[in-house]
């Protein structure tokens, strides 16, 4: 039995080290191609018609902000159509409809499309498909409710479509409330790694990458050719992206064009978002990876597709690792095998140090490349990296559940991420959370398991400290803090803050 635990532990670490090696390789690709910046093949003499789609659902706190921002896009008024695709079931629909009516009277080509009752099929994908059937534009830009596109977004993207092989252009996400809290800082680091390093490396090295559901613009013909928006996965954007690229369409990623958006300020909202992304990516893996393997795309594209679409399988391994790690340490110590802890070092460098290096490096690049970040010290990410790694670990159970729901084809609805209209200057995010009618539920079995694992690792930390296994303490504490942090903010944040506010 002891050998079973030990061999299982090392097998899991070995597989995770393969994913770690891939992070190093992704950084290599980024560095190799970082100066190969995309440029339009030409410029339109006569600008084409563009439709901007704004899919919204119960967004009463941010829908006005979104619409007012989009009507300021710098593009000829006779070439620009705005569609507000509203599936709302609350007062959001009246806010959006009234504003659209006002702006239309002012001369803007803006239409309000509301789907009600049984017509509201396919969630976001269904709304986009429904709007596309009546869209005037040859090209279609999409922005989610919490995004704030810059005025020059269309002028900086549309000219890439002078190349008839280009099907989609994606911009990089930025964050209006990055500085708000430890949670938003950690989220921004996680997203920056994806958008600055992974997207750039994949796109410029000739591998597939994906539209992220917002802050991008499509050629309408590309969507039709790829089979249109489909809603059999929770990540319709990822699904369509791979189907389009398998059809031979090329995508462009503009790392220097940023579109700011609001990060979730509350743990349950963040976990819900991560659950949807994790489950959706595995659904797309199961749906499309066999097709990718049978296709005539290059081997490098197939390998990257595996790591891209299958990345969340790592959370299953992380769950097993979380269960085995304290047991492994206790068994090895009691057997007098402390000296073979040095065998963990190479795997640690690949599986764990790669994460630290990946996100630290991405933040350095973001600080260097983003004008709004010039005030930020290059050492600032070091303060938040431990919390970022711990947060990633704390998501293990949440995202492992998502993977298994995808594998067993459990059908769940598209659960939107609540928006709070909170930016970095808002000092009372708690008030925003409390008054928000869309606040997600707190008590669930996932959070309870996270709490139990946090206590489990607290005992492991105690054991390691008093056994003199001090080298293992930082690693154990990342798991301890990660699970306690996510469970506490999921279960106890609201009632504790209410109590504190009463006593102040």
Kind plus residue range of the DSSP H or E element containing 430: helix 429-435
Q: Catalytic pick from 87, 144, 239, 344?
A: 87
Active site residue 225: no
Residue 71: alpha-carbon gap to chain centroid: 27
CA atoms of 119 and 208, how far apart (whole Å): 34
Contact 85, 56 (CB under 8 A): yes
Annotated catalytic residue within 237, 239, 344, 423? 237
Please name the residue that has the structure tokens 């100066």. Answer: 35
In this structure, how many other beta carbons lie within 10 angstroms of the beta carbon of residue 504?
A: 5
Phi, psi (degrees; rounded to nearest 5) at 264: -60, 135
Q: Which of 173, 119, 115, 111 is nearest to 137 (CA)?
A: 111
Burial of 467 by CB count in 10 Å (0-12 exposed, 13-18 middle, 19+ buried)?
Answer: middle
Q: Is 182 exposed, middle or buried (0-12, 13-18, 19+ CB in 10 A)?
A: middle
Closest CA to 210 of 148, 301, 146, 313: 301
CA 358, CA 351: separation in Å to the nearest integer? 11
Element holding 214 (H helix, E strand)? none
**Token digits of residue 101:** 């009516």
Determine the 3-state secondary structure of 82 from DSSP: strand
Q: What CA–CA distance (Å, rounded) separates 463 from 458?
A: 9
Half-sphere exposure of 294 (CA within 13 A, CB side): 5
Query: 3-state DSSP: the chain helix, strand, coil percent, rounded to 5?
Result: 60, 10, 30
Are the C-beta atoms of residues 201 and 33 closer than 8 Å to each other?
A: yes
Q: Is 237 a catalytic residue?
A: yes
Across the chain, which distance is largest between two alpha carbons, in Å? 80
489: alpha, beta or left? (left if phi > 0; alpha if psi -120 to 50): alpha
Determine how β-strand 216-219 pairs with β-strand 110-114: unpaired
CA distance 270 to 273: 5
Can you spell out the DSSP letters for 267-291? HHHHHHHHHHHHHHHHHHHHHHHHH
Give the active site residues.
Answer: 87, 237
């Amino acid at each position: 039995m002891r050998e079973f635990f030990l061999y299982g532990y090392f097998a899991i670490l070995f597989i995770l080290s393969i994913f770690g090696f891939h992070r190093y390789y992704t950084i290599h690709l980024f560095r190799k191609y970082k100066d190969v910046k995309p440029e339009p093949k030409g410029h339109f003499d006569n600008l084409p018609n563009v439709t901007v789609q704004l899919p919204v659902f119960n967004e009463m706190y941010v829908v006005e902000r979104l619409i007012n921002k989009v009507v300021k896009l710098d593009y000829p008024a006779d070439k620009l159509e705005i569609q507000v695709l509203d599936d709302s079931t609350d007062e959001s629909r009246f806010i959006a409809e009234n504003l659209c009516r006002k702006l239309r009277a002012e001369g803007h080509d803006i239409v309000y499309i509301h789907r009600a009752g049984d017509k509201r099929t396919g969630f976001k994908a269904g709304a986009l498909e429904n709007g596309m059937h009546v869209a005037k534009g040859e090209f279609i830009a999409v922005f989610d409710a919490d995004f704030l596109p810059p005025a020059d977004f269309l002028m900086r993207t549309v000219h890439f479509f002078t190349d008839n092989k280009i099907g989609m252009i994606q911009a990089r996400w930025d964050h209006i409330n990055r500085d708000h809290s430890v949670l938003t800082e950690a989220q921004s680091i996680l997203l920056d790694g994806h958008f600055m390093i992974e997207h750039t490396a994949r796109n410029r090295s000739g591998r597939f990458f994906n539209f992220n559901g917002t802050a991008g613009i499509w050629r309408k013909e590309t969507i039709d050719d790829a089979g249109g928006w489909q809603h059999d996965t929770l990540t319709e954007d990822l699904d369509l992206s791979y189907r389009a690229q398998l059809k031979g369409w090329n995508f462009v990623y503009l790392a220097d064009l940023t579109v700011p958006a609001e990060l979730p300020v509350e743990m349950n909202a963040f976990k819900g978002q991560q659950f949807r992304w994790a489950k959706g990516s595995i659904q797309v893996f199961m749906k499309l990876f066999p097709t990718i393997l049978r296709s005539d795309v290059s081997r490098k594209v197939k390998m990257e597709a595996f790591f891209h679409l299958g990345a969340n399988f790592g959370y299953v391994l992380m769950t097993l690792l979380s269960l085995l790690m304290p047991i492994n340490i206790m068994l090895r110590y009691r057997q007098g095998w402390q000296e073979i802890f040095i065998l963990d070092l190479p795997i640690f460098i690949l599986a764990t140090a790669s994460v630290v290096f990946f996100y630290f490096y991405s933040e350095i690049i973001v600080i260097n490349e983003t004008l709004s970040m010039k005030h930020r010290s290059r050492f600032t990410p070091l303060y938040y990296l431990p919390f970022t790694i711990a947060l990633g670990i704390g998501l293990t159970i949440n995202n492992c559940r998502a993977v298994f729901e995808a594998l067993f084809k459990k059908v769940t609805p598209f659960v939107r991420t609540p928006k709070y209209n909170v930016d970095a200057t808002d000092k009372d995010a708690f008030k925003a959370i409390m008054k928000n009618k869309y606040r997600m539920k707190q008590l669930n079995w996932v959070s309870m398991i996270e709490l139990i694992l946090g206590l489990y690792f607290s005992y492991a930390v105690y054991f390691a400290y008093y056994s003199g296994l001090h080298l293992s303490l930082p690693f154990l504490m990342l798991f301890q803090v990660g699970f306690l942090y996510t469970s506490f903010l999921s279960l106890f944040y609201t009632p504790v803050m209410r109590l504190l506010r009463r006593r102040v």
